Amino acid sequence: MMDLLKYSSRFLIFTFFLATIVCCNPGPDSYVKNMSFGGALGTSYSITYLTERELDIQSEIDSVFEVINHSMSTYIPDSDISKINNGDATVRVDQMFREVFELSQEVHANTNGYFDPTVGALVNAWGFGPGDIVKMDSSKVDSILQFVGLDKVRLNSDGTITKKDPRIFMDFNAIAKGYAIDRLAILLDQKDIGNYLIEVGGEIISKGENKIKNKSWIVGIDDPQIEEGRRLKLTLQLADKAMASSGNYRKFRVDSITGQKYVHTIDPKTGYTRDSQILAVSVIANSCAKADAYATAMMAMELPESKKVLNQQEELDAYIIYLEKDGEVAEFMTPGFKKLVVR
């Protein structure tokens, strides 16, 4: 079964920018290190949670992934979002779909439209989604842009979705992975587990600390310039926060005929794939869904625009790797992000 994030996310990006869990030494016997790991949402996941006794919640973890797939996977034909994309106006979406839709509206407004889940038709056409690849030119792009715009979709009070045009294709891949992490965190919170680290496809949320070492959870960010293998760009302490990363340094599609390279980030305003100065972005926020969405938006934005958003959204901190005009690699880091870096 092809599921939600077949290409390890939103076009998403990011096998090269995975945040990694740094291994820990054994600690006091009063804490048990429980781990769950495997594959879901088209990527891998790893969940570490510390308790006073051994605990197995694998079936409940699997249920979270299953419910999210049923609601928002564009790769599952009978999911709610697939039915809606295919023109079924009778579908009543669940609370999770509603929460993702409403957060998408919020981030869409705060980023001047650079985060837009209706970019799905363009994602498919450019060859980064479940739909058919289209030979793109200016007329094709202009015609597809008619179906892009979150303002053209309405969530009704009864849970149904109304689209101004039935050909509008919604795609939550750029936020659903982060939302899945948030739901997993809620699952652990409900079980009164106060110390955990959840990672899905490189996106992370933490709570409490590593009680086995009596210190904060330590995570790393991969260097996006390493094309083969992995090397950490930096490590940081992540306490009671979420972090999501996005980038296009490695993720691209090459036309088999022309040899032209198309990066996976798509500008919802122009309709074209974005070959920007931004190599990679990591965003820290209170929720992983929010970090996920803003990281995606900032890949399509120019650096000054991202800085403006960060100044307006006090909850957010970010680390952006970009190219100067002379081609040299440079970095921007908010003060809040800098405080978390382990020197």
User: 60-94: per-residue pLDDT in tens?
Assistant: 999 999 999 999 999 999 999 999 999 999 999 99
Which residues does 44 contact at the CB level (< 8 Å), separation at least 6? 37, 38, 200, 201
Contact 27, 214 (CB under 8 A): yes
Of residues 279 and 153, which shows the higher confidence score? 153
Q: Which domains does the chain have, with CATH numbers?
A: 15-340 (3.10.520.10)
Q: Would you state the structure tokens that stand for residue 270, as one six-digit string? A: 């122009």
pLDDT digits (tens, 9 = 90+) for 185-211: 999 999 999 999 999 999 999 999 999
Of residues 46 and 224, which shows the higher confidence score? 46
Rounded mean pLDDT, 244-256: 68
| Gap between the Cα atoms of 39 and 36, Å rounded | 10
- Residue whose token pair is 């800085």: 307
